[in-house]
Amino acid sequence: MMKCRRLYPWFMTLALIAVASQLTLAEWSPPETLDDLPSLADLPELMTFADGSPVHNAVDWERRRDELKAMIQYYEYGHLPPRPDQVTFEDHTTGPIANCEGTEERLTLVIGSQDQLRMRIAVYKPHTDGKLPVIIREEHALGHIEEVPSILARGYLFVEFAREDLDPDEPDVIGRA
């Protein structure tokens, strides 16, 4: 079951690319139901526009990326909200990580000044200076990540956020996000 859950986003992305490559942008509109999505026997050509024309260069690729992003946002992730007027934080704590060369910071982001959205995050930082690559992961609860020591040992900054602060995993409950 766990392998299927981890592979699901990849299969969904491939399916969305398949849909994207079968439709032209001028013709594209969301289907009424999932049954209206085209059935494809093979994976679509990533370097082919939805209208069937090929991607020839970097400028074409930027257009193709925009085409794919529009469909992936519609089907899988949704569109980004507008940029908030402010982001602050509260409930800040810092401490060492057991059995690991790093520091854990926990804080609550307060997003927006009017309709405030609060989102808890944990930031795990190795004991090193300078810019670091970042891995961001959503979690049900903060602080239960077995991989933190190996991630920090490889020189990555790791951030997890509590997804249920944005949208609870309960039927018929719509979150603030």
User: Do 95 and 70 belong together in one domain?
Assistant: no
Question: Under DSSP, is residue 48 helix (H, G, I), strand (E, B) or coil?
Answer: strand
Tokens standing for residue 85: 């007027």
Q: Does residue 174 fall inside a structural domain? A: no
Q: Does residue 171 fall inside a structural domain? A: no
The pLDDT of residue 66? 87
User: Do 6 and 44 belong together in one domain?
Assistant: yes
The pLDDT of residue 88? 93
CA–CA separation, 71 and 69 (whole Å):
5
The pLDDT of residue 30? 67
User: Do 93 and 149 belong together in one domain?
Assistant: yes
User: Do 69 and 95 belong together in one domain?
Assistant: no
Collect the ranges in the chain with pLDDT lower than 70. Answer: 1-31, 173-177
User: Do 67 and 100 belong together in one domain?
Assistant: no
Q: Does residue 153 fall inside a structural domain? A: yes
The pLDDT of residue 121? 94
Q: Which domain holds residue 21?
A: 2-77
- The pTM for the full model equals 0.58
